[in-house]
Structure 1
Amino acid sequence: MKKSTKKVRFLGVVLELIHKKGFMATTMRDIAQELNFEVANVYNYIDSKQALLEEYLFDIQDEFHSAIDPIMGSSLTATEKLSLVISSYIQITTKRPYEQALLVNEWRNLKEPKLQEFVKRRKVYENKLQGIIADGVEQGEFRPLDIEIATQTILASLRWLHMRYLDTEVKLNPVKIDKQLTDFILLAVANTTI
């Protein structure tokens, strides 16, 4: 379902406000004031802050899974797969930096049972990335390394990126960032004895 222009603008302002103040510190009154609304009008756009958080977190999580799944199922080398995963992560972050900020900073504010569901789905994504790295090690493309540490290091190298895209004083070229981060990560895992 396509969102109306008013709702898209509303959601953009809410995401920016949550990014600035934090999810817990942002009130419905803050949202209303930011948009020059009465508080009651906010409920025309969202049921609650919690519902908004759930929708955005699960939606962007779905996008990350949708990006990695075809890569996992391909016949590409582990190096090619890892390169594509990194690129897809950067593309999603470039397109949706505020949602990525929620994913990194605000997921702990989910309420049960959604919190556990989110954590399980995040672990599934991490396991997919671990599988690519393990295949690379097994095939001799990647040097022997601790798969868990490598996975978390790669994700940590990507998770901060939204901050650079939200910095209005810095203009980033997504293609250059993609190349730089991909080269950096691939060099870190590469088996240089080949």
Structure 2
Amino acid sequence: MMTNSKKEVFFENTLRLIYEKGFKATTMGDIAKNSNFEVPNVYNYIDSKEAFLETYIFNIFTEFNGYISDIIESTFSPREKLKYVISKHVQFTIQEPYQVALFVYDWRNLSEPKLSEFKVLRKEYLSRVESIIEEGINEEQFRRMNLEVATYLVFSSLRWLFSLTIAKEGKVNSIELEKQITDYIFGGIDKRD
């Protein structure tokens, strides 16, 4: 059986603390107390809570951008591509709900120039998913609709999943959840005869 390193436990505990207390309300003292450290010891793991936030948010983007490139460049149909986007979001959220919570709630706490960089990356990512939906409309797999609205509806259907995973303490059947979310999204986007 694998055990988490002290550093991994520190990061997991800090993510959980920030989720429970809120990023702005969490101090370095809180982070130290939560890990049974003196405040100076926290700096062995992170330079600041802002650096912690940046690292996690941009790591998530790296993960998402890696798989979206593979999905878009695949030979799959737009319908299959969108299913893979949904699947990746569901699976990542179930595996890392506190990271996703940080990403969803706290990106606004990034300092410049990282805040502007985040907004550009987010816009690019949404645009790439929007291109899948547009391709599906053009190929008559999806019904005609406003692309921006459709894209935001897909993501609003996914963004709350971390809270379900946290509330159920990780005891979520990922296959069932993915199917339910996929069926729900495709119930609204699929072309109807």
Coarse TM-score class (shorter-chain normalised): over 0.9
- Structure 1 equivalent of residue 189 of structure 2: 189
Shift of 1:32: 1.0
- Structure 2 equivalent of residue 15 of structure 1: 15
Q: What is the 5 A alignment of 1:1-194?
A: 5-168=5-168, 171-193=171-193
* Over 2 Å off, 4+ runs: 168-171
CA distance in 1, matches of 2:25, 2:91: 29
More divergent stretch after superposition (143-152 vs 32-41): 32-41
CA distance in 1, matches of 2:89, 2:9: 25
Report if the CA contact (8 A) 1:32-1:38 is conserved: yes
CA distance in 1, matches of 2:36, 2:88: 37
Gaps of 5+ in 1: none
CA distance in 1, matches of 2:136, 2:170: 35
Change (3 A) 1:50 1:169: closer
Change (3 A) 1:27 1:67: same
Report if the CA contact (8 A) 2:71-2:85 is conserved: yes
Shift of 1:11: 0.5
Shift of 1:174: 0.5
- What is the letter of the counterpart of residue 44 of structure 2? N
Task: Please give the root-mean-square deviation of Cα atoms over the aligned residues, in Å.
Answer: 1.1
Report if the CA contact (8 A) 2:94-2:172 is conserved: no
Shift of 1:169: 5.8
Report if the CA contact (8 A) 1:130-1:148 is conserved: yes
Report if the CA contact (8 A) 1:64-1:92 is conserved: no
The DSSP-based 3-state class of the residue aligned with 2:67 is helix
The normalised TM-score by structure 2 is 0.96
Report if the CA contact (8 A) 1:28-1:42 is conserved: yes
CA distance in 2, matches of 1:55, 1:170: 23
CA distance in 2, matches of 1:59, 1:92: 12
CA distance in 1, matches of 2:173, 2:108: 31
More divergent stretch after superposition (163-172 vs 116-125): 163-172
CA distance in 2, matches of 1:171, 1:14: 21
Gaps of 5+ in 2: none
Question: What fraction of aligned residue pairs are identical, expressed as a percent?
Answer: 46
Shift of 1:168: 3.7
The normalised TM-score by structure 1 is 0.95
CA distance in 1, matches of 2:100, 2:182: 19
